[in-house]
Amino acid sequence: MSWSMGEVCRMSGVTSRTLRHYHHVGLLPPESTGAGGLRRYGERELRGLQRILVMRELGLGLADIRRVLDSEQDEAAALRQHLHDLEAERDRLSVLVDTVRRTVDTLEGNDVTSRPEELFEGFDTAHYSERAREEWPEQWERAREAGDAMTPAEAERMRAEAAEGMGRMAAFLRAGTPVGAAPVQAEVEWHYRQICLMWTPDAEAFAHLGRVYAEDGSWREVYERVAPGLADYQREAMEVFAEHRLGESS
């Protein structure tokens, strides 16, 4: 039995553009291609699409997915490994849920968290570290060296200060303060100077960092634990700072 592209899109929620891209890069060729380029997919292709989507959920990029698929022969063994990875991710998310609950309880007392490190429990930074190494190798190396030179006490102090900064931004958000207002921009400048202790972003890199905070993933989860909407508020405020403060000096 086989299904048309439209049927696969309806079943999986994947767009036709994505399926065509997967075909183009060799991740998911259709079972057959008929007149006019009409693609049809069989059960093997549906299982392949499921595997691709599972690996995407686990944070793998398309190049990494391609390497995984190319290196595997036993489909059942590969699926067992994906199941193991999903169970590990479920456990990590369970820790995040507990962290969110603690943060909500603490926020009701008008504080971010009694122990700053709790804000980041269950937060997986490996994906972001690898991404930064690929996109900004020189800055990543400087940040890595700075991090390695920190004592545990210094790292703890930075986590505490980060939590306090998020709390201040959350207060601006709840008060409805525009992201371009002077107090908000002063807070973003403080955030920028904290980052500069590790590496010095230019306007483009700082604005991009704000977008990373707001995209789906662990960083967004951290900000949203503090206050719903905080990730997007932080991103917008950083974009304003990058344009009007860093852009002027670049």
The 3-class secondary structure across the chain, one letter per residue, is CEEEHHHHHHHHCCCHHHHHHHHHCCCCCCCEECHHHCEEEEHHHHHHHHHHHHHHHCCCCHHHHHHHHHHCCCHHHHHHHHHHHHHHHHHHHHHHHHHHHHHHHHHCCCCCCCCHHHHHCCCCCHHHHHHHHHHCHHHHHHHHHHHHHCCHHHHHHHHHHHHHHHHHHHHHHHHCCCCCCHHHHHHHHHHHHHHHCCCCCCHHHHHHHHHHHHCCCHHHHHHHHHCCCHHHHHHHHHHHHHHHHHHHHC
pLDDT level of residue 152 (50, 70, 90 thresholds) = confident
Residue 233: predicted pLDDT: 95
**What are the Cα distances from residue 71, in Å, to 74, 96, 129?**
10, 33, 25
Supply the CATH classification number for the domain 2-71: 1.10.1660.10
pTM of the predicted structure, to 2 decimals: 0.48
User: Any idea where the domains of the chain sit in the sequence?
Assistant: 2-71, 81-249
Measured distance CA(50)–CA(91) in Å, rounded = 21
Closest CA to 79 of 62, 44, 58, 54: 54
Residue 103: predicted pLDDT: 56
Measured distance CA(244)–CA(185) in Å, rounded = 10
130 vs 4: which has the higher pLDDT? 4
Q: What is the rounded average pLDDT of the residues 110-128?
A: 49
